[in-house]
Chain A
Amino acid sequence: GQQVMQIPQYQHVQEGEDFTTYCNSSTTLSNIQWYKQRPGGHPVFLIQLVKSGEVKKQKRLTFQFGEAKKNSSLHITATQTTDVGTYFCAGYNYGQNFVFGPGTRLSVLP
């Protein structure tokens, strides 16, 4: 079945540094969603990417969908302590439920 992997598993950065997490699917995806989970919290939807090569920005966050629609990335510019949490990608294909990646846990040192 479809598998979704994320790297790195953990990332520790100094506040102000940039951060990138990568999501890779074993199959071509219809679209992909990203969720953020704060420590002790629940996943919260961030964004959905649909088109090949699509790039979307939310303030300091940049999301990209690969040309082959098998990979995606989330880049955070100049991290802040409020960015702490685990970032999940969820790959989607028509007729199937989402498949979540294992997540990347981000720590930001002040």
Chain B
Amino acid sequence: NAGVTQTPKFQVLKTGQSMTLQCAQDMNHNSMYWYRQDPGMGLRLIYYSASEGTTDKGEVPNGYNVSRLNKREFSLRLESAAPSQTSVYFCASSESWQGLFGANVLTFGAGSRLTVL
């Protein structure tokens, strides 16, 4: 049982290049999320998908787009990378949306370290 799988683990981009981070979960979770982690900033929500077919902006969505391809997969795209997007990106999933009463536990992937030069 792999849980949440992210690819790639590491990526170096030049300013202006585009790329897509892939995420897949095998726990039959309904909700998926993309976070970025920067030193001293904790985890900040970029976009989330409460259920298949829906996506919503989080705290820091500018410069990103997402696609919920199916129930298992949720991708994050940087159309024109900027140095400010240098970060570690985590995909996470939960059984249902974390905003529902009872709050759900987040299961995180191993992370993708992105450097934009």
Contact = CB atoms under 8 A, between A and B. Distances in A.
Q: Do the two chains bind?
A: yes
Interface of A: 4, 9, 30-31, 33, 35, 41-45, 48, 88, 90, 92, 94-98, 100-103
B102 to A, nearest CB: 9
A43 B106 contact: yes
Contact of B43 (A31, A48, A88, A95): A88
A42 B108 contact: yes
B22 interface: no
Q: Which of A30, A43, A45, A48 has the most CB of B within 10 A?
A: A43
A9 B39 CA distance: 11
A97 B106 contact: no
Contacts of B59: 97
Interface of chain B, main secondary structure: loop
B45 to A, nearest CB: 5
B108 to A, nearest CB: 4
Nearest to B108: A42
Given A45-B106, A97-B98, A102 B40 contact: yes
B41 interface: yes
B53 interface: no
B43 A94 contact: no
Given A42-B90, A97-B98, A102 B106 contact: no
28 contacts: A4-B42, A9-B40, A30-B101, A33-B103, A33-B105, A41-B111, A42-B109, A42-B111, A43-B106, A45-B105, A45-B107, A48-B103, A48-B105, A90-B43, A92-B98, A94-B99, A94-B101, A96-B99, A97-B33, A97-B45, A97-B48, A97-B58, A97-B98, A98-B106, A100-B42, A102-B40, A102-B41, A103-B42
